[in-house]
Amino acid sequence: MKYISTRGKTEAVSSAEAIRTGLAPDGGLYMPDRFPETDNKFLMELAELSYPERAAKIMHLFLSDSYTLKEISDDCFAAYNEGSFPGGPAPVKKAGDINILELWHGPTAAFKDLALQIMPRLFVRAVRKTGDSRKALILVATSGDTGKAALEGYRDVEGVDIAVYYPVDGVSRIQKLQMSTQTGNNVRVRAVSGNFDDTQNGVKKIFSDASISAELNRRGRFLSSANSINWGRLVPQICYYYSAYCDLMNSCTLKPFETLDVTVPTGNFGNILAAYIAKKCGLPLGRLICASNSNNVLTDFISKGVYDKNRPFILTSSPSMDILISSNLERLIYTVSGAAETRRNMSDLARSGLYSVDDETHRKITDDFNGDYLDEESVGKTIKTVYDRYGYLIDTHTAVAYGCAEKYAVRTGMPMLVVSTASPFKFAPSVLNALGIQKYGEDDPLETLSAKTGVNIPYPLRGLNERKIMFPPEDSINPADMPADVLGNI
Ligand SMILES: *Cc1c(COP(=O)(O)O)cnc(C)c1O
């Protein structure tokens, strides 16, 4: 299999090259040149296997041009073990008639671990396979979840250093604690004075500064990124849709090969795109429901065929979905309308913040996708109702999806899977609020939530307050000093 750019102006590359570089030279995103086919027999065989075995089989379908099944399988077993994912990487639970895919049992209690625990292993192999002998420096600008998940994934990985920059007042207290207590011999975490845009612009400038690349190259280094446009982050996400489907067949919740609708809480469109690719490959998925919070630019796009980011940016209780430019949507546009149309749309977006797709493209998108959203009040109500009715605790992001899924499934009566992307403890203050527990005094919100609900705090979030601060947030740097910081420490 070869990988081609969504903008069509770059030569096809190997999967290893796509993973090493992240972005295509023409500014596009890499996509496989075809979707591998999986049939019912494949699914029956998959259902007999453990999660790491399932994941290895599926990833191999996409990466076999560069990676052996043994290599991928070794990486899957190293990434998806009981130590990192107690209770399993992707267990399926039930709340009422709705099935829930819990993707937050990993080292940072959010779903990005499913990709970022394995991607560093694929990345290191990719660097070797493409004959690059330099050491990689992974640069990340984060508004919370990605930074911590990338730190955990790349910590102590040989041949790689990682530097994470976050806005000092732009992440939650828990996220700040998670990052400032990071350990590992190749990690660096910096608070930046400014907001997320300042931080992200600082990182983007470093990536596009030829003099920094030249200096790093002189020192035997090259820059790479860990964000969700890299194919190496997307391919592991396809696996858990297959795995959930197998588990639902095994438990007889689904009849063999019955259609399953899926609702995904969406920000950058990576997670739901992975579901779309699984469907394209033959997994019997039905409607893909793209669930947004009040930043509902995708809901409008799916209903009207017009993408318009010119609107107020709203800070919500589901911050990982507070996004107005969903980068991975480009991969969907490319799949349904081709490279020329994608180029036109993306240049419109860069110029005016707006583009519209033609009627046929719009019809093809609505053949697979529904869009819906939940406002802040409904998010809180959903958390409370699901807890009161089923004793099941969900976080704010999962609540967005649950609310949208329920509205849809009530109409159809069809089997529904909701993707749960974060532990409720990661957003404990919002969850406590939703449950009507407003006063927790001096107590830690996580302890309060655990005491009131009898649910245990996940292992990565326990004892955060007692951990040693390695990177004090007070030592924040100015955005202008980020280049010097990158070069000064290697
Ligand atoms: C990143 C994230 C999302 C959004 O996922 P996308 O792939 O960007 O659509 C949703 N929920 C949580 C908790 C996240 O961390």
> What's the CA-to-centroid distance between 266 and ligand 1, angstroms?
6
Catalytic status, residue 280: no
pLDDT at position 440 is 65
pLDDT at position 167 is 92
For residue 269 and ligand 1, the question of a CB distance below 6 A is answered with yes
For the cut 90, the answer to whether the pLDDT of residue 198 exceeds it is no
pLDDT at position 197 is 77
For residue 271 and ligand 1, the question of a CB distance below 6 A is answered with yes
pLDDT at position 300 is 98
> What's the CA-to-centroid distance between 144 and ligand 1, angstroms?
11
Residue 313: HSE in the Cβ half-sphere, 13 Å Cα cutoff = 10
Atom of ligand 1 nearest to the CA of 426: 13
Mean local confidence (pLDDT), 271-275: 98
For residue 397 and ligand 1, the question of a CB distance below 6 A is answered with yes
Decide if 423 contacts 104 (C-beta within 8 A): yes
CA nearest neighbour of 247 among 384, 446, 7, 50: 50
Mean per-residue pLDDT of the chain: 94
Amino acid, res. 296: N
> What's the CA-to-centroid distance between 271 and ligand 1, angstroms?
7
Decide if 465 contacts 452 (C-beta within 8 A): no
CA nearest neighbour of 151 among 198, 192, 104, 119: 119
For residue 175 and ligand 1, the question of a CB distance below 6 A is answered with no
For residue 342 and ligand 1, the question of a CB distance below 6 A is answered with no
pLDDT per residue over 326-362, tens digit each? 889 999 999 999 999 999 999 999 999 999 999 999 9
pLDDT per residue over 400-441, tens digit each? 999 999 999 989 999 999 999 999 999 999 999 999 987 666
Mean local confidence (pLDDT), 198-210: 87
The rounded percent of the chain whose pLDDT value lies above 90 is 85
R_g (Cα) of the chain, nearest Å: 21
Atom of ligand 1 nearest to the CA of 274: 7
For the cut 70, the answer to whether the pLDDT of residue 285 exceeds it is yes
Residue to probe by mutation, ligand 1, list 143, 145, 295, most atoms within 8 Å of CB = 145
CB-based contacts of 303, cutoff 8 Å, min separation 6: 371
For residue 115 and ligand 1, the question of a CB distance below 6 A is answered with no
pLDDT band of residue 278 (cuts 50, 70, 90) is: very high
pTM of the model: 0.95
pLDDT band of residue 81 (cuts 50, 70, 90) is: very high
In order of 48, 218, 241, the CA distances from 37 in angstroms are 19, 44, 15
pLDDT per residue over 465-488, tens digit each? 899 999 999 999 999 999 999 998
> What's the CA-to-centroid distance between 134 and ligand 1, angstroms?
32
For the cut 90, the answer to whether the pLDDT of residue 490 exceeds it is no
> What's the CA-to-centroid distance between 472 and ligand 1, angstroms?
27
| Residue from 41, 70, 94, 112 carrying the catalytic annotation | 112
pLDDT per residue over 37-68, tens digit each? 999 999 999 999 999 999 999 999 999 999 99
